[in-house]
């Protein structure tokens, strides 16, 4: 096998230190290579010393396995002066029965020397900072949702069924009905009369739902949950303001993504942060879809197709695409909603939703590559593209119901 990099290094990184294997040509036998494995700390000074060691050894390639977040101090320091690539852990998985830290360091060095690994996408620093902000906001939003769920479970313990009547217990009306019992008001009729706007039509149901056994213990826990909800809301607002400032260089891409049905500003911000907004890193749209993990897998052996489950892609990007797909399938007279309904009949709900996610990420690649807004095809696109097929399908369905159909073309007015 051809050797592309004669001097290659492969560190096996842990939290405290790293075993670094340097693979260099042998001075005793032509065509052979020697390996030297040393241990280095994970502090900044130790990584700088490692950099000097690799430069002295004239290393031309460093292959780092993406291990949790421990690879970051090594990658950011070494990448300034060396050719460093970050690889997926599945691509450099060692052979069974050879699992030691030393062999784990030698294996990526050997793979990198022969060019058998593909570098992972590491965005530039502005995009990495934007990622940190959007991911922190996503985590805080999820935690706030869990606080609401814990509050609902607490209300179930009291027999209060507020969530069965009010869709959002943290809205203006629901919040007032939760604050009042903490301050001592326990009369269900008085609590139900705090409803606002459309919820006032449900005062009898609210009176019944707010009848329970809320004690001082429950009031104390309710106060804690409400305070935690407010704290997380403040955190989310602060992060949103910082994200808006960091999105200034990506304003054009943000405006383009906002034209896609189902994508709001927050979802578009996550998509740009995770992809970097630069589609030149992905040769075609299908490469972006594969990287995002929204296309079927490919596993064929002996002429038979086996497991075609989707690959595990970026969880934050997949979550954003899922939210976008949920919103898109609920829009009226759109191509994505029609595609979802058409595929649901014979592929199921989850696969149809995944197909909508694939369509969205494909559209994103073309929009950011061509710098053009979303082109809405309409809900009748497939029917207009092949009207004869749609006609045959409709006739077949009517025949199955026992009807005989005679088609008469409509006369166009002159």
pLDDT tens digits, 229-272: 999 999 999 999 999 999 999 999 999 999 999 999 999 999 99
CB neighbours (10 Å) of residue 103? Answer: 16
pTM: 0.84
The DSSP annotation for 325-373 comes to HHHHTTSSS-HHHHHHHHHHHHH-HHHHHHHHHHHHHHHHHHHHHHT--
Residues 72 and 64: their CA atoms lie apart, in Å, by 10
pLDDT at position 231, please? 96
pLDDT at position 96, please? 64
Which phi and psi angles does 407 have, rounded to 5°? Answer: -95, 130
Distance from chain centroid for Cα 254: 17
Query: Is pLDDT above 90 for 28?
Result: no
Query: Is pLDDT above 90 for 134?
Result: yes
Q: How confident is the prediction for the chain on average, in pLDDT?
A: 88
Q: Which of 59-63, 86-90, 136-140 has the highest mean pLDDT?
A: 136-140
Q: How confident is the model at residue 90 (pLDDT cuts 50, 70, 90)?
A: confident
Q: How confident is the model at residue 412 (pLDDT cuts 50, 70, 90)?
A: low
User: Once rounded to an integer, what is the mean pLDDT over residues 80-100?
Assistant: 79
User: What is the percent of the chain where pLDDT is above 70?
Assistant: 97
CB 321 within 8 A of CB 357: yes
Residues 63 and 55: their CA atoms lie apart, in Å, by 15
Among the listed residues 260, 372, 253, 376, the one whose alpha carbon sits nearest the alpha carbon of residue 323: 260
Domains of the chain, each with CATH number or no CATH: 8-113 (3.30.420.10), 126-246 (1.10.287), 250-299+308-370 (no CATH)
Counting other chains too, the contacts that 20-23 makes at CB distance below 8 Å and 24 or more residues apart are: 20/50, 20/53, 20/54, 20/105, 21/102, 21/105, 21/106, 21/109, 22/53, 22/54, 22/57, 22/59, 22/109, 23/106, 23/109, 23/110, 23/113
Query: Is pLDDT above 60 for 414?
Result: no
Query: Is pLDDT above 80 for 157?
Result: yes
Which class for 252: exposed (0-12), middle (13-18), buried (19 or more C-beta within 10 A)?
A: exposed
């Amino acid at each position: 096998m051809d050797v592309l990099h004669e001097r290659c290094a492969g560190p096996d990184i842990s939290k405290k230190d790293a075993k670094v294997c340097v693979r260099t040509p042998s001075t005793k036998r032509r065509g052979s290579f020697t390996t030297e494995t040393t241990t280095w700390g994970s502090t900044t000074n130790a990584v700088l010393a490692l950099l000097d060691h690799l430069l002295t050894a004239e290393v031309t390639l460093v292959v780092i396995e993406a291990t949790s977040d421990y690879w970051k101090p090594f990658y950011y320091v070494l990448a300034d002066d060396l050719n460093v690539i970050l690889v997926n852990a599945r691509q450099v998985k060692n052979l069974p029965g050879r699992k030691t830290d030393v062999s784990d360091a030698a294996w990526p060095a050997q793979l990198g020397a022969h060019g058998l690994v593909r570098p992972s996408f590491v965005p530039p620093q502005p995009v990495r900072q934007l990622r940190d902000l959007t991911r922190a906001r996503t985590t805080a939003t999820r935690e706030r949702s869990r606080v609401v769920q814990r509050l609902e479970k607490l209300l179930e313990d009291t027999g209060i069924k507020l969530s069965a009547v009010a869709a959002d217990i943290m809205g203006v009306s629901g919040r007032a009905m939760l604050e009042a019992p903490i301050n001592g008001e326990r009369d269900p009729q008085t609590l139900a009369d705090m409803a606002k706007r459309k919820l006032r039509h449900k005062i009898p149901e609210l009176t019944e739902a707010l009848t329970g056994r809320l004690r001082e213990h429950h009031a104390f826990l309710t106060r804690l949950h409400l305070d935690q909800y407010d704290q997380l809301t403040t955190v989310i607002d602060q992060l949103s303001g910082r994200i808006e400032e960091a999105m200034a260089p990506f304003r054009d891409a943000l405006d383009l993504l906002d034209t896609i049905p189902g994508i709001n500003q927050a979802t578009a911000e996550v998509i740009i942060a995770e992809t970097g907004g630069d589609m030149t890193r992905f040769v075609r749209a299908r490469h972006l879809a594969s990287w995002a993990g929204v296309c079927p897998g490919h596993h064929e052996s002996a002429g038979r197709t086996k497991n075609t489950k989707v690959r595990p892609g970026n969880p934050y990007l997949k979550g954003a695409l899922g939210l976008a797909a949920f919103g898109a399938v609920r829009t009226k007279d759109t191509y994505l909603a029609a595609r979802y309904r058409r595929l649901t009949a014979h592929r199921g709900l989850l696969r149809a939703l995944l197909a909508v996610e694939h369509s969205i990420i494909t559209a994103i690649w073309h929009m950011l590559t061509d710098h053009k807004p979303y082109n809405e095809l309409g809900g009748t696109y497939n029917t207009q593209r092949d009207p004869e097929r749609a006609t045959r399908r409709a006739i077949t369905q009517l025949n199955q119901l026992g009807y005989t159909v005679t088609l008469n073309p409509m006369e166009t007015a002159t």
